[in-house]
């Protein structure tokens, strides 16, 4: 599924006017991510899922990943969404909250109409790779990793 999504997105790069081209620059995408992650890191619920991460690094990684998704330069060197989020128990409600925050941020940053719709479509395409129905679907990425979840969303029944 993950590769199918990326292959479909790679076809965006084969068109004359990719979403990256229409957005105009890395700077515009990064400006959206700066505003978006400021909101995420300030949100008491969603910030928990970013425990131990550097906000500037997160912005850079997300910008480079989405540049590739949008048909721009393929310079992203991080994990693909499923693997990057395997240690996070993200509910559908949390994903939807985050997605709405992105929609609001796009409007605030002047990304509207078709460009906004397409960006949100790409974002939503990763939902099945990130959202989990049970904390039992989570796994550590490495030995010292923590399984992160928002208190109240789950009662852990196993030790991590």
pLDDT in tens, 62-109: 999 999 999 999 999 999 999 999 999 999 999 999 999 999 999 999
Task: Answer whether residue 154 shows pLDDT above 70.
Answer: no
Which has the higher per-residue pLDDT, 95 or 151? 95
Q: What is the CA radius of gyration of the chain?
A: 16
Give residue 15's pLDDT: 55
Asked if 129 and 82 touch (Cβ cutoff 8 Å), the reply is: yes
d(CA 76, CA 95): 22
| Cβ burial, residue 66 (10 Å; 0-12/13-18/19+) | buried
Task: Answer whether residue 141 shows pLDDT above 80.
Answer: yes
Q: Which whole number is the average pLDDT over 121-142?
A: 96
Q: Which whole number is the average pLDDT over 141-159?
A: 78
Give residue 10's pLDDT: 56
Task: Answer whether residue 144 shows pLDDT above 50.
Answer: yes
Asked if 149 and 88 touch (Cβ cutoff 8 Å), the reply is: yes
- pTM score: 0.86
Band of pLDDT at residue 160, cut at 50, 70 and 90:
very low
Q: What angle do CA 8, 11, 13 make, to 5 degrees?
A: 130
Q: Which one is the CATH code of 2-137: 2.40.128.120, 1.10.260.40, 1.10.490.10, 2.40.50.100?
A: 1.10.490.10
- Phi/psi for 148 (5° steps) reads -105, 135
């Amino acid at each position: 599924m993950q590769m199918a999504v990326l292959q479909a997105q790679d076809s965006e790069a084969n068109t004359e006017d990719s979403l990256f081209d229409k957005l105009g620059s890395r700077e515009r995408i990064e400006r959206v991510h700066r505003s978006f992650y400021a909101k995420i890191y300030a949100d008491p619920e969603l910030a928990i899922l970013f425990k131990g991460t550097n906000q500037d690094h997160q912005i850079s990684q997300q910008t480079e990943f989405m540049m590739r998704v949008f048909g721009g330069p393929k310079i992203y060197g991080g994990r693909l969404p499923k693997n990057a989020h395997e240690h996070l128990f993200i509910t559908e409600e949390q994903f939807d909250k985050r997605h709405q925050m992105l929609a609001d941020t796009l409007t605030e940053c002047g990304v509207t109409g078709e460009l906004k719709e397409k960006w949100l479509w790409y974002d939503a395409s990763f939902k099945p790779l990130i959202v989990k129905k049970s904390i039992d679907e989570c796994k550590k990425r490495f030995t010292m990793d923590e399984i992160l979840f928002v208190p109240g969303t789950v009662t852990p029944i196993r030790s991590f």
